[in-house]
Chains A and B, each alone.
Chain A
Amino acid sequence: MMIRLLSIEFGKLLRLSSLRFSLIVLAIYPFLWAYAPGVFKAYGSYVVSAFQVPALSLLSSMQFLLPLLVAIASAELLGLEMIHGTLATVLLRPVTRSGLLLSKIIIAISYPFLLIGFMFIVSLIAGIPLGFSDFVGGTGVGPSGLVGDGLLTASGAMLELIRAYFIAGISLLPISLLSILFTVIFMNVASGALATLTVLILMQLLVVFPWLEPYLLSSQLNSYFSSGVSLGRAFALIALYSAVFAVSAMLIFERKDY
């Protein structure tokens, strides 16, 4: 039954208007960075390699754009069922509530990787005119930023980017799950997505408490810069946030009246 539910839910994901909107935005977005005249002013370096375009796309989208797109799609996955009234229809079939929500959660947590993967490919395409050869500088997601510390090989740059995109995808997972949790609570797409973004913005404001900053959900969005112990701590916190949000959503969904 779970495989059947997953295939149904994946079909629903592909039909989400927010998915189409996100893909359009992310199809345009990297091109802005590849040819933006103000990059030097913002980042203190010129874009000299195709490998820097994906990094710039990621750097500029992780704090707000990608969390926003992820939160909306995750809220839509469940909230649209409430708007259409189909949630009740599905629950009347021999499907457990936990099974249904779990299938939505699995699809929702795959969504950040779908978006990130798409943006990565488009960014590489946008960078074609700049070339994929070895270059002097940094990708922007490595330890020495865009300026770099000498010659960076093409394979080294690619590995840095894949690592950063993968970690970024992981750090977006709690956003997906938080959005599902709020949608379960409010039974509404807009409220689910907005509540998620409100929490993120509030957490970004909480950096005024320096001792709290490393543990905030919003701080984990920058974990693709981390390595070693701090990356391990970020993964642990991401796992903890994700588990709390997912389990809470399951428990509430299990006893909710529809």
Chain B
Amino acid sequence: MQTLIEVNNLSKRYGKKTIIDDISFKVNAGEVYALVGPNGAGKTTVIRLVTGLSFPTDGEVKLFGENASKKPSLRHKLGAVVEAPAAFYPYLSGEDNLKLHAKLAGGVKAERIDEVLEMMELSYARAQKLATYSLGMRQRLGVAAAVLTKPDILILDEPASGMDPLSLHLVHSVLREAARNGAAVLLSTHHLDEVVTYCSRVAILEEGKLIDEVNLHDRRQRYRAKVSQIQRAEDILADTDFVRHIKQRADELVFILAEKEDLAKVTATLFENNISLFELMPDTFNLKAYYREQININPRFQERVVR
């Protein structure tokens, strides 16, 4: 899988204060990668460093394998919202703001503007001055502007800020669609419930450090099973190509499938080998609890309310 965003040993210091401390991660094509963490953890700074709006003290950011700050033409394939609410010219209409974005991007077909307005359910407000837009409408217009050029990299800082649940659903489906079409999506968010449904990986940030990275894609492919002959079942499944990882946990097997559709192959294999299957269910992962656990390691955040 092609790595579209590569962050290597990124640090940002203002004087003696370290804002970002030696962070590294990669986002591949087709992935949605979320940065989560308490306020002040450094999520927005990372987003600004990745988009080239700020400059790192140490480390580097590569987009499409190249240093984007030295090659602005790479931004033809980048869509981003870095302000919450998304920033636009208040004296222009929603449509005219998008036209200006299209002009800056080097030209976009008029139909595409109609398409993104329709996609974000803003067609009815296209002629309204931006000053009349609600916070949620501005955020939706921000996402519309970000996907205007059908970018290969999509970066969004708090895209859900100020949105009602329906608008939130709209934004998430756009992000999901972008990833399905092969884009690398990087976002920062506080909405852990939504993150867990469609993000591939989540980085937990705390005080400028990346303290943990959770592979939600793997977690979603993770199942647990109670079987007869647990050791034999483990050995047999470990030899297959549709089980990527397997281990015993107490009296059950926990395994990660290569593909979600491979679950039937597991049951068939166990059946063929005369191993009884008593229980089979997803090994559900509670990101919110896990996040709270990680953050609570630091006493400074123990009183924080996790949304």
Contact = CB atoms under 8 A, between A and B. Distances in A.
Interface of A: 1, 4, 8, 12, 15, 84-86, 88-96, 255, 257-258
B87 interface: yes
A172 B78 CA distance: 40
Nearest to A98: B72
B104 A84 contact: no
B269 interface: no
B237 to A, nearest CB: 47
B90 A8 contact: no
A12 B100 CA distance: 11
B132 interface: no
Interface of B: 48, 51-55, 72-76, 78, 80, 82-83, 86-91, 100-101, 103-106, 145
Contacts of B106: 1, 94
Contacts of B104: 4, 8, 90, 93-95
A209 to B, nearest CB: 37
Contacts of B80: 92
13 contacts: A1-B106, A8-B100, A84-B87, A84-B89, A86-B89, A88-B87, A89-B83, A89-B86, A89-B87, A91-B53, A93-B101, A95-B72, A258-B48
B75 A93 contact: yes
Contact of B78 (A1, A92, A258): A92
A70 to B, nearest CB: 22
Contacts of B74: 94
Nearest to A90: B104
A244 to B, nearest CB: 24
Contact of B75 (A15, A85, A94): A94
Contact of B82 (A15, A88, A255): A88
A1 B76 CA distance: 13
Contact of B105 (A86, A91, A94): A94
Contacts of A4: 103-104
A92 B154 CA distance: 11
Contact of A257 (B54, B83, B90, B105): B54
B87 A85 contact: yes
A153 to B, nearest CB: 47
B87 A255 contact: no
A257 B51 CA distance: 11
A4 B107 CA distance: 10
A253 to B, nearest CB: 12
Contacts of B100: 8
Nearest to B104: A93
Contact of B72 (A15, A86, A94, A257): A94
A96 B104 CA distance: 11
A8 B103 contact: yes
Contacts of A12: 89
Question: What 7 pairs between A and B have smallest CB-CB spacing?
Answer: A85-B87, A93-B104, A257-B54, A94-B75, A85-B83, A258-B53, A92-B80
A2 B52 CA distance: 21
Given A8-B103, A255-B55, A258-B53, A92 B87 contact: no
A85 B52 CA distance: 15
Contact of A86 (B51, B76, B88): B88
Nearest to B146: A92
Contacts of A1: 106
Contacts of A89: 82-83, 86-88, 101, 145
